Chain A
Amino acid sequence: MEDKNNIALSVRDLKTFFYTNNRCNKAVNGVSFDVEKGKTLCIVGESGCGKSVTAATIMQLLPTLSRIEEGEIKFRKDDKIINIEKLEKNGKEMREIRGSDIAMIFQDPMTALNPVYTVGFQISENLKYHTNLNKKEIREKCISLLNDMGIPLPEKRVDEYPHSYSGGMRQRAMIAMAMACNPKILIADEPTTALDVTIQAQIFELMDKLKKENDTAIILITHDMGVVAELADNVAVMYMGNIVEAGTADDVLRRPTHPYTKALLESVPVLGRGKNQDINPIKGSTPDPYNRPKGCQFAPRCNWQTESCDVMPEITQINETHQVRCHKYEQFFEKYK
């Protein structure tokens, strides 16, 4: 990897388990990745693969029945390195990081804003807890944030309630809220799933602009391959709580090596290829998290399954940037040479 100073967040062998009815769901089961400053890492995978739990773990916003089991989350704050997993869940230090150094945008802007407070009030809460601005300065900052997000008439809009905002505007307000304290890392958990396609593009443009201007590292969680192609610098593909393939966007999208990544890419229709293109859905469905296959989690749905897949494959570094978790990666990677 590159110079260590570039890395804003480093996750190593992270395990987050859920405990319900005396059963244990290994939602995140040994995940490692790095997020570089000013770069976008996309985490892709189908529903329930542990993407959102990974995000919630970094923010320590896990529900009560779950906990970080193992691993470390190292966050670089200026020159110090903070081990997030060691901080108390709602303790002072964790709260200082939340919202100011690491901020988060949620999936559904319709429900993520509190309906009984004005948008301005909700943005100002962030500033109130993490800066020393006075009331007037906070208000000015809120207006300028809304203005930056392209909300018309911000002086008027700042005093309005979320219900008079449209979906796209609410998500902008959410981003304004998240960006209020210039966070070093922005976690966006499927920020556009609930929005129109045209609004999606605007939101992503906005995020890209912020990334370039503020050198913010972005962790973008999505299952939309188009979004990945558009925005990602690095990509991590998750399946059943593991990262099965990771690398630069070029590595993963142009030279997919894990059968799951290939299958994901083949299941997306491509605009302009016409009606007769082959779309191959992945056969079967994700296994029950309480009744996992042994060895490679994807094996039962994989076309290339062999006996060796009964053992969990190790992460293998194909080249400097590209890594994969598959026994037969050589066979797949051959073709790209």
Chain B
Amino acid sequence: MLLVISFLVYSGLELSPGDAVSHMISPELASTITAEQLDAMREAYGLNQSFLTRYWIWLTSMVQGDMGYSMAGGVAISEIMVKTVPATLELSMVALFFSTILGCSLGVISALKRGSGTDNSLTVAGMAGVSIPEFFFGLVAILLFAIELKWLPVGGRLLPHYETLWDRIPNIVLPSLVLALMMTAGAMRYARSSMLDVLAREFITTARSKGMPEWRVNILHGFRVALTPVVVLIGFRLPLLIGGSTIIEQVYQWPGIGSMFIRSVRASDYPLVMTISLMYVFVVLTASLIIDVLTALIDPRVRLGKE
């Protein structure tokens, strides 16, 4: 899987016009530079070799754990990753946490109060959340909370002299909430319909016929069963969350892997693009593995026989 995708990305890069060298040269220099000089530069970076050879070299060194160097800055990619990956993980995990908790609880409330004003307004909000793109929310949120109300900083992650955890929290609130928004809306809609579906099932009546209080019927018997499809959905949305972080990181100047990705694509910095896209693939595959494990934990029917 990883192999196929890495090859596809590589081919895509090859097909796009220009290469790293053409981006390195500033427009002023471009008029004076000769074709020989360009070729010399290409040779220095190994760009004159055939497409397949380059792919092979990249692949073998990648397998050995050598991610190579960025063509734009000459910095080791592993170093770039160490700097940017934690930032992105921090952002998406906080967003995941918010959206799961908010999405599930709002969805359940919506389902339990079906047809009421609360349900209807949550439904409308959910639809809006699903359909309005994130960068729009991001900009609106900056305008409102950072510029008008001045409650929270406009963007950035770490400021000089702000090193304690407490100093860092205000910076993450806006981007993570905006990032969580779309996911929350989706999880909420899904949790609602899943919950309604479960509440109509017969075992809910059985649970009620035992004389248990409503909250226990709804949460223990209803929500627990409704949770399985919601977990699966959140798992499938996880890549979306990371994809979404690319945009949000741009909007909020978050020094994560998303903004690095955009920069590297612009510069045709193919070793960096390759590494980052491989990492995305890896995250998607890991996410689906985690989801499988989680579903088995929640739903005993999925568990494998012990004998």
Contacts and interface: CB of A to CB of B under 8 A. Distances in A.
What is the interface residue range for chain A against chain B? 20 to 34
Contacts of A122: 206
Interface string A113-141: 11111100010011001100000000000
A59 B206 contact: no
B210 A111 contact: no
B210 A129 contact: yes
A104 interface: yes
A61 B301 contact: no
Contacts of B221: 114, 117
Interface in B203-223: 203, 205-214, 221
B206 A115 contact: no
A10 to B, nearest CB: 21
A55 to B, nearest CB: 10
A89 to B, nearest CB: 10
A108 interface: yes
Contacts of A118: 300
Contact of A125 (B202, B212, B301): B212
B298 interface: yes
A95 B208 CA distance: 8
Given A95-B211, A99-B209, A129-B210, A115 B202 contact: no
A326 to B, nearest CB: 35
A95 B212 contact: yes
B224 interface: yes
Interface string A88-103: 0010001111111001
A190 to B, nearest CB: 12
Interface residues of B, number: 20
B212 A61 contact: no
B208 A112 contact: no
Contacts of B212: 95, 99, 125, 129
A98 B301 CA distance: 29
Interface string A24-55: 00000000000000000000000000000000
A111 to B, nearest CB: 4
A116 B298 contact: yes
Contacts, number: 75
B161 interface: no
B184 to A, nearest CB: 25
Contact of B300 (A115, A126, A129): A115
Given A112-B203, A114-B225, A100 B211 contact: yes
Contacts of B208: 61, 90, 98
Given A104-B209, A115-B225, A116-B225, A90 B214 contact: yes
A77 interface: no
Contacts of A103: 209
B206 A106 contact: yes
A163 B301 CA distance: 7
A93 B213 CA distance: 11
B49 to A, nearest CB: 57
B135 to A, nearest CB: 40
A165 interface: no
Contacts of B214: 90
B197 interface: no
Nearest to B216: A125
Given A59-B209, A90-B214, A112 B225 contact: no
A115 B221 CA distance: 9
Interface in B185-215: 201-203, 205-214
Contacts of A96: 211
B225 A99 contact: no
Contact of A98 (B202, B211, B300): B211
A106 B211 contact: no
Interface string A52-71: 00000001010000000000
Given A61-B208, A114-B225, A161 B201 contact: no
Given A106-B202, A112-B203, A98 B224 contact: no
Contacts of B14: none
Nearest to A161: B300
A177 interface: yes
B201 to A, nearest CB: 6
Contacts of B210: 98-99, 125-126, 129, 177
Name, among A61, A100, A106, A125, the residue most crowded by chain B CB atoms within 10 Å (CB to CB): A125
A117 B301 CA distance: 10
Nearest to B300: A161
Nearest to B224: A116
Nearest to A121: B220
B299 interface: yes
Interface in A268-321: none
Interface string A244-258: 000000000000000
A158 to B, nearest CB: 14
Given A111-B203, A115-B225, A116-B224, A98 B299 contact: no
B138 to A, nearest CB: 38
Given A61-B208, A97-B211, 18 more contacts: A98-B209, A98-B211, A99-B210, A106-B205, A106-B206, A112-B205, A114-B206, A114-B221, A114-B225, A115-B225, A115-B301, A116-B225, A116-B298, A117-B224, A125-B210, A126-B210, A129-B211, A161-B301
30 contacts: A59-B209, A61-B208, A90-B213, A97-B211, A98-B208, A98-B209, A99-B211, A99-B212, A106-B202, A108-B202, A111-B202, A112-B202, A112-B205, A112-B206, A114-B203, A114-B224, A114-B225, A115-B203, A115-B225, A116-B299, A117-B221, A118-B300, A125-B210, A126-B210, A129-B210, A129-B212, A130-B211, A161-B300, A177-B206, A177-B210
Interface of B: 201-203, 205-214, 221, 224-225, 298-301
Q: 10 tightest CB-CB pairs across the interface, nearest first?
A: A98-B211, A99-B211, A99-B210, A95-B211, A111-B202, A114-B203, A161-B300, A104-B209, A112-B206, A112-B202
